Structure 1
Amino acid sequence: MIGGRRDSGLMKRDGGCGGQSLLRSRLTAAISVGIFLGCVFAFFYPNGFFVSSPRIHYSVANSDPEVTTSSCESSERINMIKSEFIAASEKNAELKRQIRELTEKLRSAEQRKDNAQKQVLVLGEQQKAGPFGTVKGLRTNPTVVPDKSVNPSLAKILEKVAVNHELIVTLANSNVKEMLEVWFTNIKRVGIPNYLVFALDEEIANFCQSNSVPVYKRDPEEIKRESDKNFDFIARRGGNHAVSGLKFQILRQFLQLGYSVLLSDVDIVYLQNPFEHLYRDSDVESMTDGHNNMTAYGYNDVFDEPKMGWARYAHTMRIWVYNSGFFYIRPTIPSIELLDRVAGRLARENAWDQAVFNEELFFPSHPGYEGLHASRRTMDYYLFMNSKVLFKTVRKDSNLRKLKPVIIHINYHPDKLPRMKAVVDYYVNGKRDALDPFPDGSGW
């Protein structure tokens, strides 16, 4: 039994050697295959088989991908960006508006500078100041370039009527027909050729034509084109003051056509040719409502306020107003600006034309207001006489009674026609008592 076990053990050992070799070969092959497959999988699947892919979100702000947390945060961000965009747009619009305003102010300043430079070129080259006491500033502005296209029909009439590009002009409707007759009768008597009646209605136009008086009346088409519908109504039916306000609109055309105008109300008696007594050195040369040297030419008026103690006396400069019913105006830019300012204010305000005329002429530039840069001259109040000077002073003085005025304006008295006739009787017909029946002032 023992021997039998040994044999079988030997037999197993011999058979085991051959099996072990075969087993080793198979293990080697399996390992090689495993290594090969591992390399293949490692090459094609470097991140393994079970990799989770994160959700991708693109930012609105910069378009770069970023991991989102929630859709609510994204909506709030978009709304915030929209609000910021709207606010930026509004701010941008406000900046654009401010830029436009600044640009407009700059353009206006450049225009004023350009106009000033042009005026210097017209008036002459820049000069050095001379010795003490010899320096005088320029007072006469250059005239505008005539523009016949403004009113061709009026331009043709002025070419025939005007002398040296100047003439007397008055406005009249049928309400002042009798005074108008005294007005042009004395102009003819003196021998003044250059005058024109601006007829405001058909009756006055026919009346002037029948008396060989130069007249101009707007044609119906021109009236239809008139932007101010109230203009024609006032022209035909308005009283003395209402019609007086229209002259500033009408005068503009005369100046644009290049003519100097001696504007005259109809309540004026002409005794000499006024063109022989003008200086023509200013934009506006006007008669005064003053009655002596102080009131006519200006004076230092002292205002007393006792409660101010040491400073109780305040000195003021005063001058009585210019009369807007008789003034000589040259065709210059400041003159046209004056007419525009007065006409514009009268269209907007219920104001007296003479008050507005003087305010625009004399008010200086100050904060919020730019004054008119126009030169002005006051006429000799004894030559260009108002009715206060005549009836209160001249007729009572034996020496002054010998003077012969150029014109007499019945501006201080409402009984105009009888006083006009009395002036003619006194100065023309030689009736020395013709002025005596009238009081110094008016009855009301």
Structure 2
Amino acid sequence: MSGRTAPLMRGGGPSAAWSRGSRIVVAVGIGVLVGCVFAFLYPDGLFGPAPPAPRPGAISSKISSSQCESSERVNMLKSDLAALSEKNAELKKQVRDLNMKLQLAEQGKDQAEKQVLVLGLNHKAGPFGTVKSLRTSPLIAPDESVNPRLAKLLEGVAIRKELIVALANSNVREMLEVWYQNIKKVGIPNYLVVALDDEIEKLCKSNDVPVYRRNPDEGIDSIAKTGGNHAVSGLKFRILREFLQLGYSILLSDVDIVYLQNPFDHLYRDSDVESMSDGHSNMTAYGYNDVFDEPSMGWARYAHTMRIWVYNSGFFFIRPTIPSIELLDRVAGRLMTEPKSWDQAVFNEELFFPSHPGYDGLHASKRTMDMYLFMNSKVLFKTVRKDGNLSKLKPVIVHVNYHPDKLPRMKAVVEYYVNGNKDALKNFPDGSD
């Protein structure tokens, strides 16, 4: 007995039992309180009710709705992209227009201001006989955005930003072949043919001749493919503009020309335009004082006139300057509005006519080429071939511009100057039959 009751006696009797009971009551109370709190905060249970399982039809409906929304979203994005592209094109056009207005504003400055910009500060005139005026206009800043494809081509063809350019269609195929064959013989690397139809483009490519085919242009292509010499000749003033805008100096060449030396070794490059002459003597080529006699005027019967034979619009060197581009614009503009006019006459009128009431003349500097180096066919057949001393000279080029039988005379020039056949020119008349 005493062994089994001993622990009870050690527990402290009735007071110890009360202490344990009170602790149990407190624990139960705390549990009830915590339960009430959770019941208040989470009425649907701690983890919430399980979501209902979706029906198979609902799933497909949801997928279809999602696809529809995605398709509509794509269409909206495409519409936005189209609107942005249109807006971008409009902004680009505005930028081009603003650039053009800026260029026009810059060009509109007084010519004296341009000279000051070139020469720097104003200078006093020097001693007598030492004063030299400005003859060479400043080059324009190249603008490759005008024609990136042509700009890339010219980089590989031009030398020191200079090259020979000729326009050709199938009507002049045989003359073009003589033209580029002799350019190759002379060893001139910087030349280019602007092909006006497919046949000329294929011909040049098959003969390793640098060629450029313009982008389609209905206003030009109709003339280029079917036009005669004069019609095609008028196109060059419009086509050359891009070359100048890209910053290149162009030696414009017709195809009825035989090259015997490299012309770039004989240019002065001190003027906007450097052209061969249709003159046949020192007077006619370089100018002279022609006295006009009118007897009815008595004492004032004699009037002095300054005369010069026209520049040849089929062979001239033109630099990328503002006056040069204005010249091309003026000539091309008149040829468009005056379809019966001759491009060479218009070319010279714009170059030489001075400013007068109702007309602003072109302020372009010009130089006449040496008529024995850059020879027209009148000089050759009327004078040079009959003169023992002149016949020994070797011209840079011979332009068969005065005679309609161009191809046989071109071949004769090659025989005479290249192959050494001194009888090659004898059978041709001075003029045309």
TM-score by length of 2: 0.75
What amino acid is aligned across from residue 299 of structure 1 in structure 2?
Y
Match of 1:41? none
Whose radius of gyration is greater, 1 or 2? 1
Shift of 1:120: 1.7
Query: Are residues 1:365 and 2:355 paired?
Result: yes
Segments of structure 2 that go 5 or more residues without pairing to the other structure are 1-103
Match of 1:63? none
Shift of 1:123: 3.2
Match of 2:59? none
Shift of 1:125: 2.0
CA pair 149-119 structure 1, distance change in 2 beyond 3 A: farther
Query: Are residues 1:141 and 2:137 paired?
Result: yes
Distance between the aligned counterparts of 1:315 and 1:387, measured in 2?
Answer: 30
Shift of 1:110: 9.4
Match of 1:379? 369
Instruction: Indicate conservation of the 8 Å contact 2:166/2:254, yes or no.
Output: yes
Cα offsets for 1:335-386 (capped at 9, x unmatched): 0000000000000002000000000000000000000000000000000000
Distance between the aligned counterparts of 1:138 and 1:321, measured in 2?
Answer: 24
Query: Match for 1:296 among 285, 291, 296?
Result: 285
Partner SS state of residue 261, structure 1? strand
Cα offsets for 1:181-223 (capped at 9, x unmatched): 00000000000000000000011000000000000002xxx31
Instruction: Indicate conservation of the 8 Å contact 1:270/1:406, yes or no.
Output: yes
Shift of 1:113: 3.5
Partner SS state of residue 109, structure 2? helix
Query: Match for 1:264 among 253, 278, 301?
Result: 253
How many pairs were matched up? 329
TM-score by length of 1: 0.73
Match of 1:38? none
Instruction: Indicate conservation of the 8 Å contact 2:274/2:317, yes or no.
Output: yes
Cα offsets for 1:315-345 (capped at 9, x unmatched): 1000000000000000000000000000000
Shift of 1:124: 2.4
Distance between the aligned counterparts of 1:168 and 1:120, measured in 2?
Answer: 32
Query: Match for 2:181 among 178, 185, 194?
Result: 185
Partner SS state of residue 371, structure 1? coil
Partner SS state of residue 262, structure 1? strand
What amino acid is aligned across from residue 156 of structure 1 in structure 2?
K
Query: Are residues 1:195 and 2:195 paired?
Result: no
Shift of 1:403: 0.3
Match of 1:68? none
Cα offsets for 1:253-309 (capped at 9, x unmatched): 000000000000000000000000000000000000000100000000011111111
Query: Are residues 1:174 and 2:180 paired?
Result: no
Match of 1:414? 404
Distance between the aligned counterparts of 1:377 and 1:356, measured in 2?
Answer: 18
Match of 1:40? none
Partner SS state of residue 113, structure 1? coil
Instruction: Indicate conservation of the 8 Å contact 1:248/1:340, yes or no.
Output: yes
Distance between the aligned counterparts of 2:264 and 2:106, measured in 1?
Answer: 39
The 5 A counterparts of 1:3-402 are 112-113=108-109, 116-218=112-214, 222-223=215-216, 226=217, 229-349=218-338, 350-402=340-392
Distance between the aligned counterparts of 2:355 and 2:163, measured in 1?
Answer: 32
What amino acid is aligned across from residue 316 of structure 2 in structure 1?
F
CA-based RMSD: 1.3
Partner SS state of residue 401, structure 2? coil
Distance between the aligned counterparts of 2:120 and 2:420, measured in 1?
Answer: 51
Distance between the aligned counterparts of 1:413 and 1:293, measured in 2?
Answer: 21
Shift of 1:149: 0.6
Once the two structures are aligned, what percentage of the paired residues are identical? 80
CA pair 306-237 structure 1, distance change in 2 beyond 3 A: same
Distance between the aligned counterparts of 2:408 and 2:119, measured in 1?
Answer: 48
Cα offsets for 1:74-121 (capped at 9, x unmatched): xxxxxxxxxxxxxxxxxxxxxxxxxxxxxxxxxx99963366424421
Instruction: Indicate conservation of the 8 Å contact 1:123/1:142, yes or no.
Output: no
CA pair 123-251 structure 1, distance change in 2 beyond 3 A: farther
Instruction: Indicate conservation of the 8 Å contact 2:376/2:398, yes or no.
Output: yes
Instruction: Indicate conservation of the 8 Å contact 2:276/2:368, yes or no.
Output: yes
Segments of structure 1 that go 5 or more residues without pairing to the other structure are 1-107
What amino acid is aligned across from residue 399 of structure 2 in structure 1?
H
Shift of 1:397: 0.4
Partner SS state of residue 279, structure 2? coil
Distance between the aligned counterparts of 1:201 and 1:408, measured in 2?
Answer: 26
Cα offsets for 1:151-199 (capped at 9, x unmatched): 1110011000000000000000000000000000000000000000000
The runs of at least 4 consecutive aligned structure 1 residues that moved more than 4 Å come to 108-111
What amino acid is aligned across from residue 225 of structure 2 in structure 1?
R
